[in-house]
Amino acid sequence: MAPDSAPATAAERTEVTAELACVVEYIHFIRDDGFTVLRSVPVRGAEPASAGFAAAGVELAGVRPGETLRLTGHWEETRRHGPRLAVARCERLRPESVRAIRRYLASGLVRGIGPLLAQALTDRFGEQTLEVIEREPERLAEVYGIGRRRSRWIVDSWHAQAEIRELMAALRGYGISPLLAERLHRDYGSGALETLTRYPYRLVGEVDGLDFGTADRIALAAGQPADGEERLEAAVWEVCASEGPRSGHCHLPAAQIVGEAAQLAEQPAELLRAALERLGTGKASPIVLEAHPVTGEQVAAVRAANRAERRLAKDLAALAAAPSDLPRGVRRLVEEGAFGADLADGQRDAVRMALTHTLSVLTGGPGCGKSHTVRELVRVVRAGGGSVTLAAPTGKAARRLAELTGAEAMTVHRLAADPHPGDDSPAPAQDEGGALFTAARSTMVHLIVVDEASMLDVYLASRLAARIPPGTHLLLVGDVDQLPSVGPGAVLADLLAVPGVARTTLTKVFRQAEQSTITSNAHLIRGGRLPQLKRSDFWFAELDDPERIAELVAEIATERLPRKQGVDPAQVQVLSPSRRGAAGADQLSRMLQERLNPRAENEPEYWHGPRVFRVGDRVIATRNDYARGAHGIFNGTLGTVVDLDLKEAGLTVETEEGESVRYDLDDLDDLAHSYALTVHKAQGSEFAHVVAPLTMDAPKLLTRRLFYTLATRARQTVVLVGQPRALKHALEQQGPARATLLAHRLSSALDGKTI
């Protein structure tokens, strides 16, 4: 249970049953499971009374500010909220008083109505306002500011809310959250319930948050057979398409898939083996079954991942075999060794390698001069009359690359000009004012440098390689000891495993970097050794209880560290190994938001599931959207909420690149708070100061790679708070290897074999 919603001990509870009607004033907190804590005022007569009270319970899931409720429960004494109603039953009532109607309409629940329009509507229609919306919507035009379009918007939203409430009630018994019910209604409208009950397994993967377990409960309750083919195939697909990619694998042993699917479906393994064979039969089948080229065991892969891996190997081999198109001037500078005098031997080797081989890799740890090498590489190519394009997987990493090299950089997504997230088919080339690398312009680019290449998954790398014409040089730069990509594959590590791929590893740590405890500790962590933990720029506060750890992290990030360093709290980034748990990124973001951007009277806010959005919130994009913004918004883009307009049902984010991007309130699945991030989400980014919890809540995630990546996200200060055993565990755990075949396929392709 979250700290701010914890009840008092059982001895402090008073089991006095109460039933009362109330109007929701505001929401304190919503847990992921729907447990909600809110503030409300009781209804006495026509108007709410002045004395408010707190109420809490999972029965309040989906309730919004302004709604009128009848609550049944018992009173309990809590440390934070005092007397609080523990809700056992919640019934939604129709708002009756003018004040209650106005509050309800102003909440943002009915799209097209904000506080001012809610005031105007209730001034005009009084207690009949809701009847007018329902039965006489043409009369809405009597209110200034409501035209035909807005009137339709209001009426449609009103009816949609009624349908959503019915859907929530119908699905509550299946453990479906209000947010998932809203997503289902958004995607399937009034037919959501029928679609879900008739085709539950088909919706898995189509609707965010709908997993096999939820679909299975619905299907079995509807009478579908436990050994039905559709159910068994859904169980196989869940393991192959969800469990594998979630761990970064491009394939899994068929025996493992069958075993896990049999456990999931609670059916004999032979039935699941037959289901796997059905899904892996035919050219259009969603799964590819093949023999592992080394072990000979049968493995299974999602067809899209298999195709991307094969195509990537083929395209990289073609690139490596192609003759160079570098201008004569660049080749002459390489022959003369006309490189910067300040380069170390390894850096000179790297520049020569990148301009000699059409495919190469530059790797090394922090402080080893990778960025300086790239800067010199850019200078040499331009001095010889060539052109260079720089890219990185995230916008922040691209901006940092540009700052370090003095050359323009862009995201790999823009470089690949890919408008189809999740689809590994070739995308049509597009040109955004000359900013994008496209097949039509590719002959103008002689060298492409991709930084933070450890973040490339097999899909993105495949899309990029497919667009690079023969003769263009590609240099991948990265640190192979950092976390691999969020998506499937281990592209950088796989390339380094292929002898035929040219590579340079920088090992010399330069003097300026040697003076940084962060840099020296990063190298200690990479080697599995205990870092120095009592330095002014790197220290460890020992605590054992995860909730106390989270509280101290929040205090250090918002008060102690900003005061000590004389900086704004916005310059401090909290990172966590995991999303969930008492010290996970989600809970820490809630705590930090409460400290840095709390609820304010008369300021708009909007609840979307367990998250509340306010002006001033720090946010992160959670998926690629190529149609949003001038050049698309990509997973990991950071920004700040600068406007929240309930009347227009929209929210505006200013990204770190300075672009203003609008989101409909229906699209807030695409945003999350970034007060705290997972270490994976922070890849490619760098922050002045980092504060991070270390607990054993998610031991599988706590690896040396994660610890190393965490430490290298900070420029000036790293503060760790947590359990010494968690730190020791992180240093000892290498993490599992990813199951990929890229190295084998690329080696075969370089040898001229068919893959």
Measured between alpha carbons, how far is 57 from 63 in angstroms, rounded to an integer? 11
Contact predicate 406/398, CB 8 Å: no
Please give the mean pLDDT across all residues of the chain.
90
Using the predicted structure, report yes or no on whether residue 334 has a pLDDT greater than 70.
yes
If one counts every other C-beta atom within 10 angstroms of the C-beta of residue 548, the result is 14
Residues 6 or more apart in contact with residue 403 via CB below 8 angstroms: none
Read off the pTM: 0.88
Percent of all residues in the chain with a pLDDT value above 90, rounded to a whole number: 72
Band the pLDDT of 45: cuts 50, 70, 90.
Answer: low
Using the predicted structure, report yes or no on whether residue 143 has a pLDDT greater than 60.
yes
Using the predicted structure, report yes or no on whether residue 743 has a pLDDT greater than 70.
yes
Average pLDDT over residues 44-52: 67
Determine if residue 368 is labeled as part of a ligand binding site. Answer: yes
Spatial CA neighbour of 356 closest among 387, 330, 374, 378: 330
Percent of all residues in the chain with a pLDDT value above 70, rounded to a whole number: 93
Average pLDDT over residues 299-310: 97
3-state secondary structure of 273: helix
Residues 6 or more apart in contact with residue 665 via CB below 8 angstroms: 108, 111, 606, 608, 649, 650, 651
Determine if residue 369 is labeled as part of a ligand binding site. Answer: yes
Contact predicate 304/457, CB 8 Å: no
Helix (H) or strand (E) holding 676: strand 676-678
Cα first-last separation, the chain: 52
Specify which residues 673 forms β-bridges with: 619
pLDDT score, position 15: 60
Phi then psi for residue 589, to 5 deg, are: -60, -40
Measured between alpha carbons, how far is 473 from 374 in angstroms, rounded to an integer? 13
pLDDT: which is higher, 243 or 85: 85
If one counts every other C-beta atom within 10 angstroms of the C-beta of residue 552, the result is 20
Specify which residues 671 forms β-bridges with: 621
Phi then psi for residue 389, to 5 deg, are: -120, 130
Tokens of 174: 């299946």
Determine if residue 177 is labeled as part of a ligand binding site. Answer: no
pLDDT score, position 602: 84
Task: Flag the least confident range among 146-150, 470-474, 706-710.
Answer: 146-150
Determine if residue 371 is labeled as part of a ligand binding site. Answer: yes
Spatial CA neighbour of 212 closest among 202, 226, 222, 221: 202
Band the pLDDT of 429: cuts 50, 70, 90.
Answer: very low
pLDDT score, position 431: 35
pLDDT score, position 437: 44
Band the pLDDT of 428: cuts 50, 70, 90.
Answer: very low
pLDDT score, position 5: 47
Burial (CB < 10 A; 0-12, 13-18, 19+), residue 579, is: buried
Band the pLDDT of 394: cuts 50, 70, 90.
Answer: confident
If one counts every other C-beta atom within 10 angstroms of the C-beta of residue 630, the result is 12
Band the pLDDT of 351: cuts 50, 70, 90.
Answer: very high
DSSP for residue 263: H
pLDDT score, position 406: 84
Radius of gyration (Cα) for the chain, nearest Å?
Answer: 28
Band the pLDDT of 512: cuts 50, 70, 90.
Answer: low
pLDDT score, position 426: 34
Tokens of 628: 């949003």
Helix (H) or strand (E) holding 653: strand 650-655
Side-chain-facing half-sphere of 102: CA atoms under 13 Å: 16
Measured between alpha carbons, how far is 521 from 515 in angstroms, rounded to an integer? 11
Spatial CA neighbour of 309 closest among 745, 752, 753, 748: 745
**β-strand pairing of 82-93 with 287-291:** unpaired
Measured between alpha carbons, how far is 287 from 295 in angstroms, rounded to an integer? 20
If one counts every other C-beta atom within 10 angstroms of the C-beta of residue 444, the result is 11
Residues 6 or more apart in contact with residue 196 via CB below 8 angstroms: 171, 184, 188, 203, 218
CA distances from 699 to 32, 379, 731 (A): 21, 45, 12
pLDDT score, position 50: 64
Tokens 């309730």 identify what position? Answer: 63
Using the predicted structure, report yes or no on whether residue 309 has a pLDDT greater than 60.
yes
Determine if residue 728 is labeled as part of a ligand binding site. Answer: no
pLDDT digits (tens, 9 = 90+) for 656-695: 888 999 999 989 999 999 999 999 999 988 999 999 999 9
pLDDT digits (tens, 9 = 90+) for 436-457: 344 444 447 999 999 999 999 9
If one counts every other C-beta atom within 10 angstroms of the C-beta of residue 460, the result is 27
Average pLDDT over residues 605-628: 92
Average pLDDT over residues 693-712: 96
pLDDT score, position 48: 61
Tokens of 230: 């559709």
Burial (CB < 10 A; 0-12, 13-18, 19+), residue 602, is: exposed
Sign of CA dihedral 741, 744, 750, 755: negative
pLDDT digits (tens, 9 = 90+) for 528-538: 999 999 888 99
Distance of alpha carbon 399 from the chain centroid: 20
pLDDT digits (tens, 9 = 90+) for 550-585: 999 999 999 999 999 999 999 999 999 999 999 999
pLDDT score, position 731: 97
3-state secondary structure of 182: helix
Helix (H) or strand (E) holding 395: helix 395-405
Measured between alpha carbons, how far is 301 from 9 in angstroms, rounded to an integer? 50
Band the pLDDT of 717: cuts 50, 70, 90.
Answer: very high
Average pLDDT over residues 592-598: 97
Measured between alpha carbons, how far is 121 from 113 in angstroms, rounded to an integer? 9
628 conformational bin, left if phi > 0, alpha if psi -120 to 50, beta if neither: beta
pLDDT digits (tens, 9 = 90+) for 96-120: 889 889 988 988 888 889 889 999 9
Where helices occur in 457-556 by DSSP H, the ranges are: 458-466, 491-496, 511-514, 517-526, 546-555
Tokens of 116: 């001012």
